[in-house]
Amino acid sequence: MSTQPRGAVPLHSQSEASANEAPAAALVRRAAALNDAFGKADAADRLSGIVSSAAGRLVFTTSFGLEDQVLTHLIAEAGLPVVFATLDTGRLFPEVYALWAQTEARYGIRIQPFYPRHDAVEGFVRDHGINGFYDTREARKACCDIRKVEPLGRALSGADIWITGLRADQSAARGGVVLAEADAGRGLIKVSPLLDWSRDRALTFAEAHRVPLNPLHGQGFVSIGCQPCTRAIEPGEPERAGRWWWEDDAAKECGLHVGPDGKLVRTKSQPAQVLA
Ligand code: SF4
């Protein structure tokens, strides 16, 4: 149930902040206010409340997974002033590109692409080989930095709020995800409106609203990233077991939700889990 009427503007931010308040402290205060106001709201009301609270540009980064498609539906159907962005690593499944086009057509939106720097990709492939990310953990992280983390920085440049499709039950590392958290490194607030949704709930919503989905989900590909780094999972395996499956389970993140110090961004119940 909603705790705020849709479109309310309960939390405006920087104008209320003390002139002497440090930017990081102001972000923490704003995130806490969003959690208090919308922590128990439904996803649509969370989104509209978050939009109303924004002091600048809102960016939703989608990788066209199930949760991202649900959020795209909610944002587009409500006509919210949110920028859609995606990171094209150059190593995505063909099905992802098809879904990208299908999603734009279905909702009448344009999803802004962010590509890796060509000289960085050329240097990585020259030094490590075309699939050098399999060789060492350091090479894998370097590839993710080049193809994902650096483009994400450009996608979020100047943004006030970053909307993501994280769910708390996707993995142990994401267990402490909260609705809103301060990302002081990027100078914004990161929000996860589906944090308390289950995968089944997202699937039920998507089917009810005919949200376009990646057909690979039906073949055991639950969490879908780059093609060479994603495999289908077996029944009973954790959702993210198919990502970087050759590495230890404890640290399967690409860096997009990891702070500049290499740690998972601090959450309410899980203070700074180390992922390196
Ligand atoms: S997921 Fe694999 S191919 Fe994609 S950026 Fe990371 S290491 Fe490179």
Exposed / middle / buried, residue 107 (Cβ in 10 Å: 0-12, 13-18, 19+)? middle
Which strands form 188-191's sheet, in the order they lie side by side? Answer: 112-114, 83-87, 57-61, 159-163, 188-191, 180-183
Residues tagged in the binding site annotation for [4Fe-4S] cluster: 143-144, 226, 229
pTM across the whole model: 0.85
Q: Is 144 in the pocket of ligand 1 (CB under 6 A)?
A: yes
- Ligand 1 atom index nearest CA of 229: 2
Give pLDDT tens digits for 124-136.
999 999 999 999 9
Q: Is 96 in the pocket of ligand 1 (CB under 6 A)?
A: no
Q: How many A from CA of 226 to the centre of ligand 1?
A: 6
CA dihedral 183→140→223→86, nearest 10 degrees, is: 60
Write out the H or E segment, with its range, that includes residue 31: helix 23-38
Least confident of 111-125, 170-184, 219-233: 170-184
Measured CA to CA, the distance from residue 12 to residue 218 in angstroms comes to 42
Q: Which residue numbers are catalytic? A: 254
Residues tagged in the binding site annotation: 143-144, 226, 229
Confidence of residue 34 (pLDDT cuts 50, 70, 90): very high
Measured CA to CA, the distance from residue 257 to residue 102 in angstroms comes to 27
b or e along 119-157 (b: 16 or more beta carbons within 10 Å of the residue's beta carbon)? Answer: ebbeebeeebeeebbeeeeebbbbbbbbbbbbbbeebbe
Confidence of residue 272 (pLDDT cuts 50, 70, 90): very low
Cα atoms in the 13 Å half-sphere on the side-chain side of 25: 7
For atom 1 of ligand 1, the residue with the nearest CA is 226
Q: Which of 191, 194, 193 is nearest to 162 (CA)?
A: 191
Domains of the chain (ranges, CATH numbers):
23-218 (3.40.50.620)
pLDDT of residue 174: 67
pLDDT of residue 245: 87
Q: How many A from CA of 81 to the centre of ligand 1?
A: 31
Both tokens of residue 114?
A: 């962010």
Q: How many A from CA of 25 to the centre of ligand 1?
A: 34
Residue 265 has pLDDT above 50, yes or no: no
Distance of CA 121 to the CA centre of its chain: 23
